[in-house]
Amino acid sequence: MIPAPAQAQLPVAGGGAFPVRRVYCIGRNYAAHAVEMGHDPDREPPFFFQKNPDNLDPSGRFPYPARTSDVHHEAELLVALRSGGTDIAIEDALDHVWGYAPCLDMTRRDLQGIAKKMGRPWEIGKAFERSAPVGPLHPASEVGHPSEGEITLSVNDELRQSGDLNQMIWKVPEMIAYLSEYFELAAGDVILSGTPAGVGPVRRGDVMKLSIAGLEPLQIEVI
Ligand code: MN
């Protein structure tokens, strides 16, 4: 009836493409970021929201979105699944991971703030066009399963976010296991694993640089 929409896909370092099925994102997964957003950093159960597969954008450019005056960067490690299932055990979870990429969970913070205050869903703040600038995916067969190492984000060479992957409250295998209790995970699903402290606004013309130990850095221009 209409032309089939393009399959969302991530570029793979060294060539090829990874097709994306779903995008899960965890909230408040680094204690210092939970505190800066006004929440208790204690280990309460994790919570997730979703972005759309076609929100992932490998173009290197982030167009300043509509209807906001406070769009924030959130630097995150993206985890891409090669397989899935339900009720995955924590000890088996990493067997389902294909690879890892640097990714930004760009957020219309003003609209998210209103949604939070009114008890509404977060899509208007989180799941907008090109809201997830992403770098090339690195196969776990080459980079392993990073569980520690620096994650930093600078804007115009000024350091804004700095943390270590070992500060995640819910580790990657725990996130996969938890999600699989509530959803049927499958090949092509990706998980954004949360952001360290230091989130903040960007403006047109800014250049964001996200570095995660062991992965190629991601540079994004705000246009
Ligand atoms: Mn986030």
Check residue 133 and give its pLDDT: 98
Check residue 29 and give its pLDDT: 94
- The answer to whether the beta carbons of residues 104 and 132 sit under 8 Å apart is yes
User: Residue 167 carries which DSSP code?
Assistant: G
Angle at CA of residue 100, ends 96 and 104, nearest 5°: 125
36 CA distance to ligand 1 middle (Å): 13
168 CA distance to ligand 1 middle (Å): 12
In sequence order, the β-bridge partners of residue 103 are 76, 134
Residues with CB under 5 A from ligand 1 (ion): 74, 105, 195
Check residue 40 and give its pLDDT: 79
Check residue 42 and give its pLDDT: 73
Number of H helices, E strands in the chain: 5, 18
Check residue 33 and give its pLDDT: 83
* Domain edges within the chain: 9-222
In sequence order, the β-bridge partners of residue 185 are 85
Tokens at 90, concatenated: 């924590």
- DSSP annotation string for 84-146: -BSS--GGGGGGGEEEEEEEE--EEHHHHHHHHHTT--SHHHHS-TT-EEB--BEEHHHH---
Q: Alpha-carbon distance 142 to 123, whole Å?
A: 34
Q: Which CATH superfamily is domain 9-222 in?
A: Fumarylacetoacetase-like, C-terminal domain (3.90.850.10)
76 CA distance to ligand 1 middle (Å): 7
Tokens at 30, concatenated: 């680094």
Taking 70 as the pLDDT cut, the residues of the chain under it are none
